Structure 1
Amino acid sequence: MQIRNYCETDVPTMVRIWNEVIEEGVAFPQLDFLDEESGKAFFATQTYCAVADDNGTVVGLYILHPNNIGRCGHIANASYAIDSVCRGKHIGEQLVSDCLNQAKEHGFKLMQFNAVVENNVHARHLYERLGFVMLGTIPNGFLMRDGTYQNICLYYYVL
């Protein structure tokens, strides 16, 4: 498995994986799907974007960008997406670890996650194992696909 900077030929697979997470409706806040054109623009606007490449097949990705602007612009934010057929293979751990290194290399001082869905226990355990600190929860902060609400957890990591 290689974590590498994405290239334009990766975009169709990245869009498919990203949209799969949106469709599941249990992790990403986005409601709108990407198409190849909007995906190309979306990924190009990130501070850094990487893919998990398994012998030439993209099986996951992350986006890295500022969490805020100006005086809070030193805080990074990121999102991770793994192809559903490849989950459970520790690809997320490799993506998060690489992302933390890239965030530091790009001058960020902290990583902050604003909305980790409370029942996303695999992601939460990974973040906590890697040293993220949970700040607290926001009650009913995430609208699930089924119309119910889940709490969201805020995390940070000092780079």
Structure 2
Amino acid sequence: MLIRETTTEDWPAIWPFFHEIVAAGDTYTYPVTLGEREGRDLWLQQPPHRSVVAVDDTGTVVGTAKMNANHLGNGSHIAGASYMVDPAHAGRGVGRALCTYSIDWARAAGFRAIQFNAVVETNVHAIKLYESLGFEILGTLPEGFRHPTEGFVGLHIMHLRL
């Protein structure tokens, strides 16, 4: 698997699974009706931030990540990141590779920590992955997320000191 910086030509490969994941409404706080242009504008980061794709041996985009400063000004030393793996390629280590890549990026860019602002507590696979890489749950916003089948569930704030 190759992880490389995203180009605008990658968006048509990202959009189908990005749209599927957002429309499901069970892991992201984005509006489930998010349009393609708005999704592209949210996801494709401009330097010094970064968006990347994971590409398999056939050249297929199997996942993507975005990395950025989590806060502005005097909080800009904390990174943030988000990940999406094409459900057709789940369970193959794509998410782990993207997360590891973002940790390395944040360290190299001089960030002191990575903070995830809103990890849905029912997203147990992501939480298990993040914890295996050293992230800790700092707190949970009770009923901070309206899950489409589970009702109101918590949103974890997760943190990794670099």
TM-score (norm 2): 0.90
Per-residue displacement from partner, 1:118-146 (whole Å, max 9, x unpaired)?
11111111111100111121110111134
> Cα RMSD (Å) of the superposition?
1.6
Query: Is the 8 Å Cα contact of residues 141 and 151 (structure 1) preserved in structure 2?
Result: yes
Structure 2 residue aligned with 1:101: 104
Per-residue displacement from partner, 1:41-97 (whole Å, max 9, x unpaired)?
430447101111012100100001111111101111111000011111111000000
In the alignment, residue 109 of structure 2 is paired with which amino acid? H
Structure-to-structure mapping, 1:32-111, within 5 angstroms: 32-35=33-36, 37-42=37-42, 43-45=44-46, 47-55=49-57, 56-111=59-114
In the alignment, residue 86 of structure 1 is paired with which amino acid? H
Query: Is the 8 Å Cα contact of residues 60 and 80 (structure 1) preserved in structure 2?
Result: yes
CA distance in 2, matches of 1:119, 1:109: 28
Per-residue displacement from partner, 1:8-49 (whole Å, max 9, x unpaired)?
2111112222212111111110004242x4444430447101
Structure-to-structure mapping, 1:12-27, within 5 angstroms: 12-27=12-27
Structure 1 residue aligned with 2:154: 151
2:145 corresponds to 1:142: yes
In the alignment, residue 48 of structure 1 is paired with which amino acid? R
CA distance in 2, matches of 1:44, 1:99: 13
The verdict on how the C-alpha distance between 1:135 and 1:153 changes in structure 2, with shifts beyond 3 A counting, is same
What's the secondary structure of 1:154's corresponding residue? strand
- Give 5+ residue unaligned stretches, structure 1: none
In the alignment, residue 28 of structure 2 is paired with which amino acid? F
Query: Is the 8 Å Cα contact of residues 52 and 66 (structure 2) preserved in structure 1?
Result: yes
CA distance in 2, matches of 1:64, 1:140: 26
Query: Is the 8 Å Cα contact of residues 11 and 39 (structure 1) preserved in structure 2?
Result: no
Over the matched positions of the two proteins, sequence identity in percent amounts to 35
TM-score (norm 1): 0.92
In the alignment, residue 53 of structure 1 is paired with which amino acid? V
Between the two proteins, the alignment pairs up a number of residues equal to: 158
What's the secondary structure of 2:34's corresponding residue? coil
Query: Is the 8 Å Cα contact of residues 113 and 154 (structure 1) preserved in structure 2?
Result: yes
Query: Is the 8 Å Cα contact of residues 15 and 34 (structure 1) preserved in structure 2?
Result: no
Query: Is the 8 Å Cα contact of residues 45 and 66 (structure 2) preserved in structure 1?
Result: no
- Give 5+ residue unaligned stretches, structure 2: none
